Amino acid sequence: MKNKFITIEGLESSGKTTACDIIVKTLNEYGIHNENIIITREPGGTPVGESLRNIIKDRNNEHISYKTELLIMYAARVELIENVIKPALNIGQWVISDRHDLSSQAYQGGGRCLGLKMINKLRGMILGSFYPDLTFYLDITADICLKRLQIKGKLDRIEQESLHFFERTRNYYLKIIKQDNSIVLIDATQSLDKVRENLKNFLFDWLKKQ
């Protein structure tokens, strides 16, 4: 089976990082070993990308304009794709990414109200036909997102956004996934055990079909 690029998406605290671990363990059970798997995160995953992540998350940068935010996301993404993801895929490694391009469409398109027209144009010019093979979208309501963030405590610039911001972001996720059958919705309001079971079952079935 050819190596794949799998991404995980969702609102803050939807369980993305936990899902990355579950996916890696499921791949291990399927016979794909850790030396053939890399995990990346967005924004970040490269020296320049991590610096850009700090700019995005720093609460002192309250007034970054939305278009600047979008461009920073794409700058970090290009760094990651060109320097890490594509080279890994080219040598046969599996790549699991904690967030990817769909986050920009949902957060900047929906949350920041920039819409999809400009983002899709930018996406096409910058990323071309580079897409993940499979995306898991962990769906939680904006309400649950805020409740989990309250438990977390100190929040970054994005995490401190409003209920309406996260509602708009979720609505965009839901709108986009309806039109793309490479994105699988997992109900992440369920218990972690249920989420794990859903992820594993789907991934096993998908792997068998590859």
Ligand X SMILES: Nc1ncnc2c1ncn2[C@@H]1O[C@H](COP(=O)(O)OP(=O)(O)OP(=O)(O)O)[C@@H](O)[C@H]1O
Binding region for ligand X (CB under 6 A): 10, 12-18, 148, 188, 190-192, 195
Establish if 17 lies at the interface with Mg ion (CB under 5 A). Answer: yes
Q: Please say which residue, 31 or 153, places its beta carbon nearer to ligand X.
A: 153
Closest approach of Mg ion to the CB of residue 88, in Å: 20
Q: Which does 182 bind (CB under 5 to 8 A by kind): Mg ion, ligand X, none?
A: none
Q: Please say which residue, 94 or 107, places its beta carbon nearer to ligand X.
A: 107
Q: Please say which residue, 65 or 191, places its beta carbon nearer to ligand X.
A: 191
The C-alpha atoms of residue 91 and residue 205 are separated, in whole angstroms, by: 25
Pair 111, 165: CB distance under 8 Å: yes
Gyration radius of the chain over CA positions: 16
Specify which residues 96 forms β-bridges with. 6, 39
Give, as one character, the DSSP assignment of residue 46. S
Q: Please say which residue, 8 or 85, places its beta carbon nearer to Mg ion.
A: 8
Q: Kindly state the greatest CA–CA separation across the chain.
A: 48
Closest approach of ligand X to the CB of residue 18, in Å: 3
Q: How far is CA 127 from CA 46, 59, 142, in A?
A: 17, 29, 29
Q: Which does 14 bind (CB under 5 to 8 A by kind): ligand X, Mg ion, none?
A: ligand X
Closest approach of Mg ion to the CB of residue 99, in Å: 8
| DSSP structure string for 155-167 | --TTTT--HHHHH
Binding site for Mg ion (CB under 5 A): 16-17
